Amino acid sequence: MKLINESSKTKIVNNLLVAILAVYGISQKRFDLNETTLFHQLVTEVISPIQEGLANSKKSLSFLWENYLLIVNTSKENNVLKKQISRLESDLTTMEEVRKENLRLKRLLSYSDEMSHQRVMAQVVGWDSANEFKVIRLNKGKKDGIKVMAPVITDHGLVGYVYRVTDNYADVLTILDQNNRVDVMIERTRTHGIVEGVFNFKCALKYIMRNEPVEVGDKLITAGVGGIYPKGIKVGMITDIKKENFGMTLSIEVIPSVDFDKLEEVLVLIPSEVALAPGIVPTTEIKL
């Protein structure tokens, strides 16, 4: 019994010693973790702001890169959209020009429906700039049935007549030229006269007696004599009348019905027989 008690005491003492050593070791370890040297503190204070700055810079660079990629992609999309818009605007312009041309051609054909002449539609491809558009060139010629002395019109009125023709082109002496004399009559009074070209896209009405009741605004149409122009085609409008102190006739200014500055398409009227009328012989050779 005595031996058992001594053994028990020895175990108790050993256990106490182990416990005391364990507690001491833990306390020492915690002390080591919490205690920092002056060197460690200095390094921490110096390095930490740098680490913080690098971390912030990384975030900023990442943000800038993402925004740069967004801007680049947006710029590419804008360029693509601009090209599409430009192409659509070009298509719309082309379609609008085609629409306007179709309207002009429709008016031309409708205007000449009642005429007994064959009709050849042509485009103006040249003009004599040295003579103030007095001569124009068309893109149709003998191969298309065009003949010399064939009258040329638009839906607005008289242009002139063909005075020279090749296989593929025709030159038209307009009513603005002094060599082209048009037999006309005043639509309101049925008074006959002759229209000649003068200058600055204007014409003159000649051989009207001083006692004729002519007024500014009177319209002129072709009289149908002379063997070239059909009767009733619009020629122009009287814009000024002057009574000279001498002579038996009036000095009358006429604005043509056709706007030659904007002339694009015309109709060439081809009668069954085109004859050169007496007194209407082009004497000048005008080159385009």
Poorest-pLDDT segment among 45-54, 133-142, 181-190: 45-54
> Considering the domain boundaries, does residue 14 fall inside one?
no
Poorest-pLDDT segment among 16-25, 107-116, 245-254, 279-288: 279-288
Predicted pLDDT of residue 158: 95
> Considering the domain boundaries, does residue 266 fall inside one?
yes
If one counts the domains in the chain, the total is: 1
> Considering the domain boundaries, does residue 69 fall inside one?
no
**Residues 42-100 pLDDT 10s:** 656 667 677 666 777 777 777 777 777 778 778 777 787 777 787 777 767 667 666 66
* Local confidence band at 162 (pLDDT 50, 70, 90 cut-offs): very high
CATH of the domain at 143: 2.40.10.340
> Considering the domain boundaries, does residue 275 fall inside one?
no
> Considering the domain boundaries, does residue 161 fall inside one?
yes
Asked if residue 16 has pLDDT above 80, the reply is no
Exposure of 239 in the CB half-sphere (CA atoms within 13 A): 12
Could you tell me the pTM of the whole model?
A: 0.60
Predicted pLDDT of residue 283: 34
Asked if residue 278 has pLDDT above 60, the reply is no
Instruction: Evaluate whether 191 touches 214 at the Cβ level (below 8 Å).
Output: yes
